[in-house]
Amino acid sequence: MKVVNIHHPYQANQIPTDNVVLALGFFDGVHLGHQEVIATAKKIANEKNLKLALMTFNQHPSIVFQKIDPDQMKYLSTIKRKEELMEAQGVDILYVIEFTSAFASLSPIEFVNQYMVDLHAQVVVAGFDYTYGPKDVANMEQLPRFADNRFEVVTVAKQESDDEKISSTRIRKELADGNMEVANELLGYAYEIPGRVVHGDARGRLLGFPTANIEVDAGVRLPRVGVYAVKIKVGNQWHLGMASIGYNVTFGDNRDMTVEVYILDFKEDIYGERVAVSWHHYLREELKFDSVVDLIAQLKQDELDTAAYFKNEK
Ligand SMILES: Cc1cc2nc3c(=O)[nH]c(=O)nc-3n(C[C@H](O)[C@H](O)[C@H](O)COP(=O)(O)O)c2cc1C
Ligand SMILES: Nc1ncnc2c1ncn2[C@@H]1O[C@H](COP(=O)(O)OP(=O)(O)OP(=O)(O)O)[C@@H](O)[C@H]1O
């Protein structure tokens, strides 16, 4: 897969010369709705012997439209993760457009000319609710008119689960509620967070539960605070674990939030390793214990609950 980073206005020589089927959207999380858009585009690309190109943005459009602080924006998939997910979906060319005010203010016809026709789109595929132009003024119904027979337009019908649209917004809500099973079902895969193992307070060892403290990559959205059954990928190997997203409240107030994983049946030193943590089941809320002995007893119970969860999952 070729990744083409574009800052508006671009130079013509930045654009690969292949004719393409072009799929459009922000695609945060690359969930089942997105996957249907991409699969539809891929099928047409195969039939017509065209490359599959997909256009996404480096940051969420709401940063420009609603003036949200980019540092506050948390994603289901960072650009790096999106690249992995798109490659797995069979995308040949991934356009990452810098979503700037100048880009956002293109009129619908300018956007169609410069970002569809000039990207050599023979077919444009997007979902039923795709919009474009300043403040999202134009929609898919109007696209054939702007296309003016220069490319075909294919609109993907609404993908639903429980009579509700599958959307990034809905998945963000499920994460905020700790409903990992629902979130993962809508995503079509287990929600995964990338990060690096850093040093903690080295207290876990004394508790009998040494934890890998994870410095989560910038911009990544976390599920709600609490304790979870997780898997953690170290090198190329996935391990079972139990994780805490919390403030270690038993050890004092106003502590920083940490993401920690106790890896079951594991004794290696993995400081500095890049890891990925996938989130499978919310076990309980974070609790403030009166004594360390009580915390240790709960951790032992969490370990049993985690093992039981994964045993039943298989
Ligand atoms: C599965 C799991 C559950 C945890 N639950 C709690 C909890 O309910 N309350 C709490 O104060 N700390 C909880 N902790 C955090 C421990 O307090 C923490 O691992 C310990 O302080 C070690 O911190 P350190 O890695 O920075 O040394 C939990 C940790 C894990 C791995
Ligand atoms: N459930 C769905 N069914 C069909 N198409 C969808 C669905 N969800 C998204 N799409 C399409 O996928 C592309 C990317 O959509 P977008 O990034 O807006 O995702 P979204 O899940 O709708 O996000 P948000 O919740 O932030 O509105 C667009 O073309 C959009 O129309």
What's the first-to-final CA gap in the chain, in angstroms? Answer: 33
User: Within the chain, how many helices (H) and strands (E) appear?
Assistant: 10, 16
Q: How far apart are CA 169 and CA 70, in angstroms?
A: 17
**Position of tokens 């079902």?**
185
* 8 A C-beta contact, residue 299 and residue 262: yes
**Could you state, in order of their start, the residue ranges of all structural domains in the chain?**
2-165, 190-313
Q: Which of 200-209, 226-235, 263-272 shows the lowest per-residue confidence on average (mean pLDDT)? A: 200-209
Is the domain spanning 190-313 CATH 2.40.30.30? The answer is yes
**To test the ligand 1 pocket, which listed residue (295, 305, 306, 309) has its Cβ within 8 A of the most ligand atoms?**
295
Residue 203 CA, closest ligand 1 atom number: 27
> What pLDDT, on the 0 to 100 scale, is given for residue 73?
94
- Confidence bin at 91 (pLDDT 50/70/90): very high
- Mean pLDDT for 191-197 is 98
Binned at pLDDT 50, 70 and 90, residue 136 comes out as confident
Give the residue-averaged pLDDT of 134-155: 95
- Supply angle C-alpha 201, 288, 308, rounded to 5: 85
Residue 66 has pLDDT above 90, yes or no: no
Q: Cβ < 6 Å from ligand 1: which residues? A: 200-204, 207, 209, 211, 213, 227, 242-244, 246, 248-251, 260, 262, 286-287, 295, 299, 302
Domain 2-165 sits in CATH 3.50.30.10: no
What residues contact residue 184 under an 8 Å CB cut-off, 6+ apart?
Answer: 190, 191, 279, 280
Range in 34-38, 142-146, 202-206, 242-246 with the lowest mean pLDDT = 202-206
